[in-house]
């Protein structure tokens, strides 16, 4: 990175390559070098970079209406809310600009529900260790990774952390003031760990028993990423509140929190708001994304490609047991736990024209565009084979 490129940024990212265009599942830098993208903008660009129908929908909306206040309805927002509610099994939706903002709204909704039951409620929240929910102060408060939180404390109070996939550790933290149990259906930043069946159903039972909100973070694992439209569908349960973003807009900044009627009605006029959230451009993107997902049977495609990708990665793990410890995940949200430095693997891959991203300090995360084909998976694994062979 040259001084000229970086001089006006607050330095919160260690940037390197300058990308100038995308095509299919590839990105191109300013020198024309081609990169196979296995990160999809961190699970955002589900449709890749060449879906003309998606791009045309955005162009058409720009020509019609980009923004009006949320004091009024727009046709795209009404349609998008209905599509998301139906797809998620929820009753009501609030659109935001990002996943972190969706999390803020979900936390407020859970606390408002508790407040209406008991104005003296302390609104305590149980979250999980090694979780990640966003960078805003509320989302950071429920992120169970200490080094993210410490420099910005004091954060919002009343948050305690249980062990993910340890139901007993959750039960021990419940008090009369608990208003929500919150976790990612598949932990992302924490190392690509799916929720165990008994943990998911156990939390659902606890929330029903104590009348508290079950909040599922589907920001990264939702929108088809795991082979179901939402990852909680694998478990046959329904959360009370869920958050989504990333592939919801496939590149246009949009997120949402959705809730069942029981919880949604706790929010009343003036309790929450957003200037840009759910504007016509963002929700036009949401509408087109749902349309393309259905027309191209994208969720079914993810199931097929996810199985193939996992098989390929497991073959690498068998070939390089000294470097690869584990392969885990669901669908096209896969993690490779490595015994060599994952940052070095990511860096070497970039040099070879392969975009990878990490999860924590020892996991390589694979969240490619959902339109990926077997040939792309093969190309990815060939490069990984070369990299691990170098360190054998």
Tell me the average pLDDT of the chain: 96
Phi, psi angles (nearest 5°) of residue 355 = -95, 115
Phi, psi of 86 (to 5 degrees): -65, -45
Q: Which of 374, 333, 133, 373 is nearest to 228 (CA)?
A: 333
- Residues β-bridged to residue 144: 129
Does residue 1 surpass a pLDDT of 70?
no
115: which residues sit within 8 A by CB, 6+ positions away? 121, 123
Tokens in use for 260? Answer: 């069942």
Q: What pLDDT is stored for residue 42 in this prediction?
A: 96
pLDDT (tens digit per residue) in 66-89: 999 999 999 999 999 999 999 999
> Domains of the chain, with CATH numbers?
3-51+297-390 (3.90.1150.10), 53-295 (3.40.640.10)
Indicate the SS3 state at residue 150: helix
Measuring CA to CA, how many Å separate 124 from each of 213, 236, 329? 11, 27, 30
The pLDDT value given to residue 16: 86
b/e 91-124 (16+ beta carbons within 10 angstroms → b): ebbbbbbbbbbbbbbbbbbbbbbbeeeeeebebb
Q: Is the pLDDT of residue 4 over 90?
A: no
DSSP conformation letters of 62-74: HHH-S---TTS--
User: Is a pLDDT exceeding 60 seen at residue 3?
Assistant: no
- Specify the pLDDT at position 2: 56
| Residue 106: pLDDT over 70 | yes
Beta bridge partners of 128: 162
Question: pLDDT tens for residues 31-61?
Answer: 999 999 999 999 999 999 999 999 999 999 9
Between CA 85 and CA 96, with CA 91 as vertex, the angle to 5 degrees is 60
Q: Using DSSP, state whether 76 is helix, strand or coil.
A: helix
Write out the two tokens for 59: 């162009």
First to last CA, the chain: 31
CA-closest candidate to residue 250, choices 27, 104, 41 = 41
Q: Measure the CA–CA gap between 307 and 316, rounded to whole angstroms.
A: 15
Q: What percent of the chain has pLDDT over 90?
A: 94
Q: At what angle do helices 342-351 and 374-390 cross, to 10 degrees?
A: 120
- Among residues 9, 5, 16, 12, the alpha carbon closest in space to that of 351 is found at 16
Q: Looking at residue 319, what is its pLDDT?
A: 96
Q: In a 3-state reduction of DSSP, which class is residue 159?
A: strand
Other CB atoms within a 10 A radius of the CB of residue 227 amount to 22
- Of the pLDDT bands very low, low, confident and very high (cuts 50, 70, 90), residue 392 is low
pTM of the model: 0.95
pLDDT score of 9: 86
| 365 within 8 A of 356, measured Cβ to Cβ | yes
| CB-based burial label for 385 (10 Å; 0-12, 13-18, 19+) | middle
- Is 131:142 a contact under the CB 8 Å cutoff? yes
pLDDT given for residue 7 in this prediction: 82
Q: What whole-number distance in Å separates Cα of residue 100 and Cα of residue 132?
A: 10
Query: Span 91-107, mean pLDDT?
Result: 98
């Amino acid at each position: 990175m040259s001084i000229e490129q970086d001089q006006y940024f607050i330095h919160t990212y260690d940037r390197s390559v300058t990308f100038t265009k995308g095509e299919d599942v590839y990105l191109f830098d300013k020198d024309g070098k081609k990169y196979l993208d296995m990160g999809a903008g961190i699970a955002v660009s589900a449709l890749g970079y060449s879906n003309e129908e998606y791009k045309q929908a955005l162009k058409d909306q720009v020509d019609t209406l980009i923004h009006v206040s949320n004091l009024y309805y727009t046709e795209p927002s009404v349609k998008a809310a209905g599509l998301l509610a139906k797809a998620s099994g929820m009753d009501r939706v609030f659109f935001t600009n990002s996943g972190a903002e969706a999390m803020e709204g979900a936390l407020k909704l859970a606390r408002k529900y508790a407040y209406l039951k008991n104005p003296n409620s302390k609104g305590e929240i149980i979250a999980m260790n090694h979780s990640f929910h966003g960078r805003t102060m509320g989302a950071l408060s429920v992120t169970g990774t200490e080094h993210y939180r410490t420099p910005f404390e004091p954060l919002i109070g009343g948050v305690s952390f249980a062990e993910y996939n340890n139901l007993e550790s959750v039960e021990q933290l419940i008090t009369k003031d608990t208003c929500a149990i919150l976790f990612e259906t598949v932990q992302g930043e924490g190392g690509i760990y799916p929720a165990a069946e008994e943990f998911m159903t156990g939390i659902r039972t606890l929330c029903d028993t104590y009348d508290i909100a079950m909040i599922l973070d589907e920001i990264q694992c939702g929108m088809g990423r795991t082979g179901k439209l939402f990852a909680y569908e694998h478990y046959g349960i329904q959360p009370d509140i869920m958050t989504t973003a990333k592939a919801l807009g496939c590149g246009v900044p949009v997120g949402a929190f959705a809730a069942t009627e029981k919880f949604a009605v706790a929010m009343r006029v003036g309790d929450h708001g957003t200037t840009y959230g759910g504007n016509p451009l963002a929700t036009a993107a949401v509408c087109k994304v749902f349309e393309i997902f259905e027309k191209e049977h994208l969720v079914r495609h993810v199931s097929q490609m996810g199985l193939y990708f996992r098989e390929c990665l497991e073959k690498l793990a068998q070939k390089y047991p000294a470097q690869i410890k584990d392969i885990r995940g669901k669908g096209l949200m896969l993690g490779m736990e490595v015994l060599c430095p994952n940052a070095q693997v990511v860096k070497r891959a970039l040099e070879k024209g392969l975009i990878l991203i990490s999860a924590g300090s020892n996991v390589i995360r694979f969240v490619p565009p959902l339109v990926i084909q077997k040939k792309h998976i093969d190309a990815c694994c060939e490069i990984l084979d070369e990299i691990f062979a170098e360190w054998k």
